[in-house]
Amino acid sequence: MPKLGRRTLTATSAAALLTAVLLPQASAQTDEPIADPLPDAKVSGLGITVEKLFTLPESEPEVPPTDPRIQRWARINYLGEIPDGSGRFYVPDLNGPMYVIDDGEIHEYLDLKAEFAPEFWASRGMGSGAGFITFHPDFEENGKVYTVHTEARDALTDEEPDLPNRHESVVQSVVTEWTADDPSANTFSGTQREILRLSFPTFIHAIQQIDFNPTAEPGDPDYGLLYIAAGDGGAGVYSDVPQDLSVPAGKILRIDPLGEGSANGEYGIPRSNPFVGRDDALGEIYAYGLRDPHRFSWDTRTGKMYLGSIGQHQVESIYEVRRGDNFGWSDREGPFVYKWDSEGCAVYPLPPDDRRHGYTYPVAAYDHDAPAGYCSDVGRAVIGGFVYRGDDVRLLRGKYLFGDGVDGRLFYTDAHQMRRGVKDHTDLATLYSMRIYDTDGDVLTMQDLAGDERVDLRFGTDAEGELYILSKANGTVWKVTGAQWRRP
């Protein structure tokens, strides 16, 4: 800053000086890449203890995969509790089986690989296969179950997607409704109907999760509405598809699976969706501007929806999601500028006029810590978790637990620190790393428990808000049974 001497500045001259001195510097700064955009998570003495519950059966895709990342014991990716008071768990396996666990006994509820052969596709693409299963909140009465799986082969020519896609398709995600003859049975029998089919231009970032808001009560506007996390299909790195409201890729969709009025006649579009009535937008869209919206959940105390979205160059993000949000991809990666044609894997500072764009930034995030000049998969992928509201582990109350899917690191942040309105990366919630302790108090890692350097970590929860941890590496589920503080 130049010396001003003894002159008295008027408001006008002061503003002119700030414009001349500060704004050019800030503008120039936006062109400087940031190789290490976020601080490392703080090492915490808080650690959890876990108890092994069960290991799911070994499974294989329909065709032996060539990608070693798909060669897992069982590609289990979630645990939930059926909302009928029975205490039964459900666990999907991307290779096809959908399991119900009743009083510790494992039952194959559905096998999507068998149901949808030969178009069923699970042998290429990290999220391909039987991606998810969820149960309607009125399942005990109506027997409605929903799944999503991927198809290829003849489906690409024989089946038309229900919503537009700007690029040629190589895989389709299909949402199916199943109606059980007997909701209390541990093996499905009944009928099915397809309710939504979307197409994607690559084998990555298709539909990841489908789910209902567990905090919505009968009579609430959100009750019984199905949320669908649709990735960008890999197109965000070379197009503006995630920002295009005329296509579903890179969006959170919200539909009424028991309603009417959609273009294909198989579901309803809630009138409260933010873009209903716009000629240039799909009414199904709830929020947009996402690369790979992988896992979402709701805080059962506050009703807030949190989403873990997997990044591209540097940033793994946790968002609080509200209707109409634009999370910025692929103009933004987390709270930074993304340039698809930039050299290396850097991100860039936000411009001085950033607020005019109206992007919603993460409430928590961590970066890749990639080697200098390295621009490839460095083994970082955020897996969204849950705000703990259970009763068994008092030290975890109010903490949002999540992790990295690849190396299995566990993180937490305090839910009250995850505030919307983030202006830049300095406003993010403080991130802590979390330990695992054995019964003797010794420190373990998820790699120890999984028996593999690649953990493929996932999370689950039950009706009481207790937490579960899963690993594809050995197909095992653990329950979080306690927590303790020890000096870091």
User: 139 pLDDT exceeds 60?
Assistant: yes
pLDDT at 6 over 90: no
For residue 211, give Cα distances in angstroms to 202, 227, 257, 371.
24, 5, 11, 37
pLDDT tens, 410-438? 999 999 999 999 999 999 999 999 999 98
What pLDDT does residue 371 have? 66
pLDDT digits (tens, 9 = 90+) for 30-70: 588 898 899 999 999 999 999 999 999 999 999 999 999 99
pLDDT tens column, 309-352: 999 989 999 999 999 999 999 999 999 999 987 667 889 999 99
Beta bridge partners of 307: 296, 319
pLDDT of residue 82 exceeding 50: yes
Give pLDDT, residue 332: 98
**Residue 92 bridge partners (DSSP):** 98
Which pLDDT score, from 0 to 100, does residue 3 have? 34
pLDDT at 343: 67
pLDDT at 11 over 60: no
Under the banding of pLDDT at 50, 70 and 90, the label for residue 372 is low
- Could you give the dihedral angle defined by the CA atoms of residues 145, 247, 288 and 240, in that order, rounded to the nearest 10 degrees? 140
280-311 per-position pLDDT tens digit: 999 999 999 999 999 999 999 999 999 999 99
Mean pLDDT of 216-240: 97
Whether residue 4 has pLDDT greater than 60: no
Mean pLDDT, range 252-268, rounded to an integer? 98
Q: How far apart are CA 285 and CA 277, in angstroms?
A: 12
- Produce one character per residue of 96-132: b if its CB has 16 or more CB atoms within 10 Å, e if not: bbbbbbeeeebbbbbbbbebbeebbbbbbbbbbbbbb
Percent of the chain with pLDDT over 90: 87
Cα–Cα distance measured from residue 274 to residue 269, given in angstroms and rounded to the nearest whole number: 11
Residue 192: closest CA among 252, 266, 248, 132:
266
Q: What is the share, in percent, of the chain residues with pLDDT greater than 70?
A: 92
What is the pTM assigned to this prediction?
A: 0.93
Q: Report the pLDDT value the prediction gives residue 155, as an integer from 0 to 100.
A: 98
* Residue 427 C-beta-side C-alpha neighbours within 13 Å: 14
CB 191 within 8 A of CB 178: yes
- Token pair 């919307």 in the structure block, residue: 420
Compute the average pLDDT of residues 97-109: 98
Least confident of 164-173, 179-188, 341-350: 341-350
State yes or no: pLDDT of 488 exceeds 90. Answer: no
Give me the domains of the chain, ranges plus CATH numbers: 30-485 (2.120.10.30)
Examine the pLDDT at 182 and tell me if it is beyond 50. yes
Query: What is the rounded average pLDDT for all residues in the chain?
Result: 92
